[in-house]
Amino acid sequence: MHSESAAPATMSQTLTKIASVVGLTLFICWGCGKLDVAINTKQTIAIGTFAATICTTLFFWNHRVAVAFAGLSVLIGAHAMTLDQVIHHTELNIIFFLIGMMIIIGALKDLGFLTWIIQSIINRKKMTGMTFMIILCFLSAVLSSIVGEVSSIVVVMALVFQVCDTLKINPIPFVMTSVLCTNIGSAATMLGNPVGVFIGSKAGFTFGQFLFGATPVALICTVVSLAFLLIWYRKAIREMTVKMEEHRKMNKGLGPLVRLPYRLGLFVLTGTVVTIAFHHQIEAALGILGEGNQNAFLIMTPLLVAALLMIYRSKRAQYYVEKEVEWWTLLFFMLLFSIAGGLQVTGVTDNLATQLTKLITGGPDAMVPFVIGISSVGSAFVDNIVFVAAFTPIIQSLVERSIDYSILWWALLFGACFGGNITAIGSTANIVALGLLEKRGHACVAFLEWLKIGSIIGLITGLIAWLMLSIMPVPKPVIHGSHGPVPEQHAPAHNIQPLNLEPLNL
């Protein structure tokens, strides 16, 4: 997906890529027609537009926003969607949430809180290679589940480079450990990955439900992966222990010893997370529940905290908004959600859901490994949000038929997040880590080297997710997704009972 090379492509390379995009798009349209997924012209156009957007992210990463803009014009021009539908499906609630979180993280960086985390680890006494790996693994997982995978990997990479450069050892085993655990941890909460908040919002999960459903799986996957990585990288760990010992004997530290203020940053982060965690209860207390207000306080909390921070540091407010918010990415998300909405509006996802139930007859449980598998492999090569945006309406359609299918939301979440570990281009965290590694002048991780360890961890975590989903009672949505076409009276009876403060169906 993010394979736009630094060197300018030759004309023949560009033409080959264009031919690949057109060829793949036409093939997907033809295949969908044959499989009775695209029954009419509007459906074929909706599929074609979505397929072209996916193929563009694969071959022309830098042009994805341009193609998505053009795609929306095609959908409106061909009467596949109305302008109102396009605007409605941009999922502004998710975009607002992400904007708020990005501003908060920017301010936390500014306040020195993220620096303090690194300093606290560097200043630990009697650290060994083994303890460093354990700290690294849990720090990556926990931090990514709270501040998001991209911000987390930037912090953890700074720690890895500081320690490895000081000790003069190869950072790659530790970079890999951080990235793999970051992707696993990003599935633990709604804050970890845009995929999480998207699924949570579309499915109608509360933050608390998400914690009950996702955190145990992510935690067990982190522990098992750590055990595996400790064995896989044992030589590097041993070398680090020896170097740390030598360093200690010479009375040298792993970095500068500085006391930094952290209380304000810690207070902001804890306050945000706790408020988000109780958003459902706050919504109930304020009476902002029901259709049109789903997860309203979940979305508003980051904006509210961002507002307070921008007032507190008014001189930096403009910087936070202009530099800390990734507008390009968010714009692509909005356009992508809209194009994926086209699949829903034209009925393509209903057709796909019907075909899926015909193909896999064993019910929701039989579909779990299928969804985990396909979303893992898909996310390994295509941006996971693209994959999730396409798959979401299909699951919504299945959930409309039976609430038992809601288990597939979790399968999709774990598949999309854990699948990002399989290849070097599987998630944004991977790309950022590789970029930082390259910038620091360290050797690059070869695609196959990544694939070897990534696919093992991907397989292990995928199997754990499947197993846990089979034995663990997972929460079912309290309310339907914000744009789900199901009228309230069609929802299963147990699903429209008065909103509880506790997650249902645990």
Partner 1 sequence: MSLSSFFNKEDILILDEAMERDQAISKLLEHLSKAENVPNIEQHLKAVIERENTDCTVVGDGIALPHARLTDIDRPYIGVATSRQGIDFAEDNDPVQLMMLILIPSSQPGLYLQLLRALGSVLSDKQAASRLSEMETSLEIMRFFERDGLTLPDYVCAADIMRKTLITLRENDSLQSAVDCFINKDLDEIPVVDKDGDIVGVVSATSLLHVCLPEYLTWMNDLSPIINFEPFTNVLRNEQNTWLADILVEDFPSVQVDEPAISVAATLLKRQAAKCYVLDGKKLKGAISLPNFLNKIFRE
Minimum distance of partner 1 from residue 91's CB (angstroms): 31
Q: Which stretch binds partner 1 (CB under 8 A): 30-38, 95-103, 107-115, 233-241?
A: 107-115
- C-alpha 132: how far from its chain's center? 26
Q: Which stretch binds partner 1 (CB under 8 A): 48-56, 158-166, 199-207, 464-472?
A: 158-166
The Cα 481–Cα 491 span in angstroms is: 12
Residue 482 has what DSSP assignment? T
Does 261 help bind partner 1 (rule: CB under 8 A)? yes
**Applying CB under 8 A, which of residues 33, 61, 70, 110 lies at the interface with partner 1?**
110
The Cα 409–Cα 382 span in angstroms is: 19
Cβ distance to partner 1 smaller for residue 33 or 255: 255
For residue 265, the surrounding DSSP H or E stretch is: helix 263-277
Number of alpha helices (DSSP H) and beta strands (DSSP E) in the chain: 23, 0
The Cα 191–Cα 477 span in angstroms is: 18
By C-alpha distance, which of 92, 234, 253, 87 is closest to 167? 253
Residue 180 has what DSSP assignment? H
Cβ distance to partner 1 smaller for residue 114 or 412: 114
Cβ distance to partner 1 smaller for residue 109 or 480: 109
The Cα 200–Cα 275 span in angstroms is: 17
Does 162 help bind partner 1 (rule: CB under 8 A)? yes
Contacts of 484 (CB under 8 A, 6+ apart): 202, 204, 396, 399, 400
Cβ distance to partner 1 smaller for residue 251 or 361: 251
Does 109 help bind partner 1 (rule: CB under 8 A)? yes
By C-alpha distance, which of 40, 74, 500 is closest to 289? 500
- C-alpha 483: how far from its chain's center? 20
Q: Which stretch binds partner 1 (CB under 8 A): 24-32, 153-161, 279-287, 413-421?
A: 153-161
Q: Which stretch binds partner 1 (CB under 8 A): 10-18, 106-114, 282-290, 351-359?
A: 106-114
Minimum distance of partner 1 from residue 133's CB (angstroms): 20
By C-alpha distance, which of 503, 493, 478, 486 is closest to 201? 478
Minimum distance of partner 1 from residue 118's CB (angstroms): 5
Are the C-beta atoms of residues 133 and 233 closer than 8 Å to each other? yes
Are the C-beta atoms of residues 394 and 349 closer than 8 Å to each other? yes
The Cα 360–Cα 106 span in angstroms is: 45
Cβ distance to partner 1 smaller for residue 51 or 434: 434
Distances (CA, A) of 163 to 43, 126, 158: 54, 14, 9
Cβ distance to partner 1 smaller for residue 125 or 358: 125
The pattern of x and - marking residues 204 through 243 that bind partner 1 according to CB under 8 A reads: ----------------------------------------
Residue 177 one-letter amino acid: T
Does 316 help bind partner 1 (rule: CB under 8 A)? yes
Q: Which two tokens stand for residue 470?
A: 């089979």
The Cα 23–Cα 253 span in angstroms is: 57
Does 118 help bind partner 1 (rule: CB under 8 A)? yes
Minimum distance of partner 1 from residue 168's CB (angstroms): 7
**Applying CB under 8 A, which of residues 34, 125, 126, 168 lies at the interface with partner 1?**
168
Cβ distance to partner 1 smaller for residue 126 or 259: 259
Q: Is the dihedral of CA 221, 226, 231, 232 positive or negative?
A: positive
Cβ distance to partner 1 smaller for residue 253 or 363: 253
The pattern of x and - marking residues 237 through 256 that bind partner 1 according to CB under 8 A reads: -------------xxxx-xx
**Applying CB under 8 A, which of residues 43, 49, 57, 115 lies at the interface with partner 1?**
115
**Applying CB under 8 A, which of residues 22, 66, 258, 366 lies at the interface with partner 1?**
258
Cβ distance to partner 1 smaller for residue 77 or 253: 253
Does 112 help bind partner 1 (rule: CB under 8 A)? yes
36 in the Ramachandran plot: left (φ > 0), alpha (ψ -120 to 50) or beta?
left
**Applying CB under 8 A, which of residues 86, 114, 137, 339 lies at the interface with partner 1?**
114
Residue 59 one-letter amino acid: F
Cβ distance to partner 1 smaller for residue 10 or 251: 251
Q: Which stretch binds partner 1 (CB under 8 A): 22-30, 109-117, 350-358, 462-470?
A: 109-117
**Applying CB under 8 A, which of residues 158, 230, 282, 330 lies at the interface with partner 1?**
158
Residue 220 one-letter amino acid: I
**Residues making contact with partner 1 (CB under 8 A):** 109-112, 114-115, 118, 155, 158-159, 162, 166, 168, 250-253, 255-261, 316, 441
